[in-house]
Structure 1
Amino acid sequence: MRATAAVAIGVGATAAVVVASLVQAAGDTPIAAALTAAVPAEYQTLIEEAGNTCPEVSPNLLAALLRQESGFNSRAKSPVGAQGIAQFMPSTWESHGIDGNSDGKRDIWDPEDAIPSSAKYLCTLAQDVKDVPGDKQSNMLAAYNAGSGAVRKYGGVPPYKETQNYVRTINAASKGGGSGKTVTAQQSTAALAAARKMLNQPYSWGGGNAEGPSTGICCSPNGSSGTDIRGFDCSGLTLYAYAQVGIDLPRTAAQQYAASQTIAAKDARPGDLVFYGNSAASIHHVGIFVGDGVILDAPRPGEHVRFSPVYNMTDLYAVARPKQNTNKEI
């Protein structure tokens, strides 16, 4: 199975742009899908063009995949050796990498080669698994993560937790692009107010839903179980808070980041989400920004919902604002 890279990107380090330029032919027939997702400005054109390589791939899908793979970091390298912005394994690059910028070499570290190669590889995988039952896009993404053989073997997305989360996260991000509109300041403030009412609720691993505190599941990485504790974990709290204002967030912190729009730290307002991790794929914690360097969060087993300093954890990754049209179910 492929592994995404652990790459630190500071808050506000990625400049984002929103592009909406649907090209249409006579009769209003779309001939190119539009990019509406937030991506670094330097990759906008590359993703717009490569995202129309075949009907199975769109610019928003490609942008979501690159964010999940590397956080748009062209120097990313995973612990298992996947390289570059699209996280190709060297062996896969040898057979599927292309010279996207026609400079005479295929460079896995060059986004001008890696981004179109990623799109072309997705198209190849779509053909490889076209006869497999189930959702075609999900099967294609699963093949990118786990290989076509695994998708064919299991008759769809394989029963690997990493691959299932990978597919769910990218699908959510690609479908969440839409108009690019984020929640209003009024919604953010109301979500924060809802979360405040949960102060002192106990931490429960896997606990919390749109209705409020709930018993959780077993078990956290350190073996903590929430099965006998009614409360919230970090993403359960944020899911609950935004459900109160009509916004359905995905369940995990990493999925919530993918379904939100990154903003500069200086633009943070009460109710925005603050994420922690070393890459988009390794996000492990989320809190709700209160202001003045403070978040409201469910920090860890044995603790309660509380106010914490923003820099209480050393791996602050990004501040992001949920989108209006996020979906809990993929």
Structure 2
Amino acid sequence: MKAATVATVGVGATAAVIVAALVQAAGTDPVGTALSMSAPAEYRDLIEEAGNACPEVSPNLLAALLTQESGFNPKARSPVGAQGIAQFMPSTWESHGIDGNGDGKRDVWDPEDAIPSSAKYLCTIAEDVKDVPGNKQHNMLAAYNAGSGAVRKYGGVPPYKETQNYVKAISALAETPAGAGQTSSTGQAATAINAAKAMIGTPYSWGGGNANGPSKGICCSPNGRSGSAITGFDCSGLTLYAYAKAGISLPRTAAAQYAASEHVEPGQQRPGDLVFYGSSAATIHHVGIYVGNGWIIDAPRPGTQVRYSPMDTMSDLYAVARPKSTESKEI
């Protein structure tokens, strides 16, 4: 975050973390409901309790925010110095961090302190912008990202692309009907999505990744970046790995994966499909796994991590295709 001094991990200039599997029950009010998301088991009780701190916060919204900020990684550290599962900057933690577990310490790296602190901070911000017109949750999230002053100045969500994407990402995650991702996908697609989701936060490595998981890459990307010293994934290494877990063997490159998959007509994509970017089949340069509601999991580029991105993360979206069901082979 900028003015609010809480930063998003691994999303560059835009807030881009979402997954349809972490969603709220269909037809319910997003405020004040119980947690219906597949948050990590060790954090569910914390989120359930802290997520009812004030009317503007719900367990689902809090879980969505934690997914956005760190992918539930309690050791996350952003390039600008944000820390822990809720990505507090040190100055913000100093003024808003609480001793959630009563052990006598306020530890930003301890989820038992950071998760309730995040909920308390959201409530504090909600109070700051309560008189601003518009959706109270959206204004609260915008203030969490850009600062209360910006929300008051613009009379709602400010016209910052990062903040607008941040609000859309968390709101969509918290409001999507439960099971939307898996009910429209095959068991193999669900397995692939879960495998990719488990790799959130893994470093990008040019040429990295295989059927067994993250690996050291090669040199060099078009911009001269080497993955030879980085254990991680590039875009097609991630999709290859995810589908290997589902028993489907994909080729190594994005273009070859497109050629080996079945084309999906526009508007017919379902979770687990592969989303390809390029100007033609021969020039495909990027691929991600569709997770529903207009979002993908991908390994974007050198210097980033595996993350959730909007489907329009790149301007040259070429096609969507569905991997063919096969027996996984050694790669």
**Residue identity in the other structure for 1:280:** R
Instruction: Give the deviation of 1:42 after TM superposition.
Output: 1.0
Instruction: Write the distance in 1 (CA, Å) between the matches of 2:297 and 2:142.
Output: 28
Instruction: Give the deviation of 1:292 after TM superposition.
Output: 6.7
Considering only aligned residues, what root-mean-square deviation do their CA atoms show, in Å? 4.8
Deviations, residues 43-101 of structure 1 (Å, cap 9, x unaligned): 11111111111111001100100001011101111111111110111101111000000
Query: Which position in structure 2 is the counterpart of 1:280?
Result: 307
Instruction: Give the deviation of 1:153 after TM superposition.
Output: 1.0
**Residue identity in the other structure for 1:276:** A
Describe the SS at the equivalent of 2:323: strand
Q: Is the 8 A contact 2:7 2:89 kept in 1?
A: no
Instruction: Write the distance in 1 (CA, Å) between the matches of 2:288 and 2:165.
Output: 9
Query: Which position in structure 1 is the counterpart of 2:267?
Result: 243
Query: Which position in structure 1 is the counterpart of 2:141?
Result: 141
Q: Does 1:290 align with 2:313?
A: no
Give % identity. 59
What is the correspondence of 1:244-323 to structure 2 with a 5 Å cutoff?
244=268, 257=291, 259=293, 275-277=298-300, 278-280=305-307, 288=321, 290-291=323-324
Instruction: Give the deviation of 1:244 after TM superposition.
Output: 2.6
Query: Which position in structure 2 is the counterpart of 1:120?
Result: 120
> CA separation of 1:258/1:51 partners in 2, compared to 1, >3 Å: closer, same or farther?
farther
Q: Is the 8 A contact 1:69 1:281 kept in 2?
A: no
Deviations, residues 183-237 of structure 1 (Å, cap 9, x unaligned): 3347999xxxxxxxxxxxxxxxxxxxxxxxxxxxxxxxx9xxxxxxxxxxxxxxx
Deviations, residues 125-166 of structure 1 (Å, cap 9, x unaligned): 111000001111100000111111111111111111111000
Instruction: Write the distance in 2 (CA, Å) between the matches of 1:282 and 1:6.
Output: 10
Instruction: Give the deviation of 1:245 after TM superposition.
Output: 6.8
Q: Is the 8 A contact 1:254 1:280 kept in 2?
A: no
Q: Is the 8 A contact 1:64 1:170 kept in 2?
A: yes
> CA separation of 1:256/1:91 partners in 2, compared to 1, >3 Å: closer, same or farther?
farther
Residue 7 of structure 2: which of 3, 18, 31 is its match? 3
Instruction: Write the distance in 1 (CA, Å) between the matches of 2:290 and 2:164.
Output: 15
What is the correspondence of 1:87-126 to structure 2 with a 5 Å cutoff?
87-126=87-126
Q: Is the 8 A contact 2:23 2:176 kept in 1?
A: no
Aligned positions, number = 226
> CA separation of 1:257/1:104 partners in 2, compared to 1, >3 Å: closer, same or farther?
farther
Q: Does 1:150 align with 2:150?
A: yes
> CA separation of 1:85/1:129 partners in 2, compared to 1, >3 Å: closer, same or farther?
same
Q: Is the 8 A contact 2:132 2:155 kept in 1?
A: yes
Instruction: Write the distance in 1 (CA, Å) between the matches of 2:36 and 2:294.
Output: 13
**Residue identity in the other structure for 2:307:** A
TM-score normalised over the length of structure 1:
0.56
What is the correspondence of 1:163-182 to structure 2 with a 5 Å cutoff?
163-178=163-178, 182=182
> CA separation of 1:157/1:18 partners in 2, compared to 1, >3 Å: closer, same or farther?
closer
Describe the SS at the equivalent of 2:307: coil
> CA separation of 1:146/1:107 partners in 2, compared to 1, >3 Å: closer, same or farther?
same
**Residue identity in the other structure for 2:83:** Q
Deviations, residues 258-288 of structure 1 (Å, cap 9, x unaligned): 8599xxxxxxxxxxx6532414366868975
**Which blocks of at least 5 consecutive residues in structure 1 are unaligned?**
8-16, 22-30, 190-221, 223-239, 262-272, 295-310, 312-330
**Residue identity in the other structure for 2:171:** N
> CA separation of 1:103/1:135 partners in 2, compared to 1, >3 Å: closer, same or farther?
same
> CA separation of 1:260/1:293 partners in 2, compared to 1, >3 Å: closer, same or farther?
farther
**Residue identity in the other structure for 1:135:** N
Q: Is the 8 A contact 2:23 2:173 kept in 1?
A: no
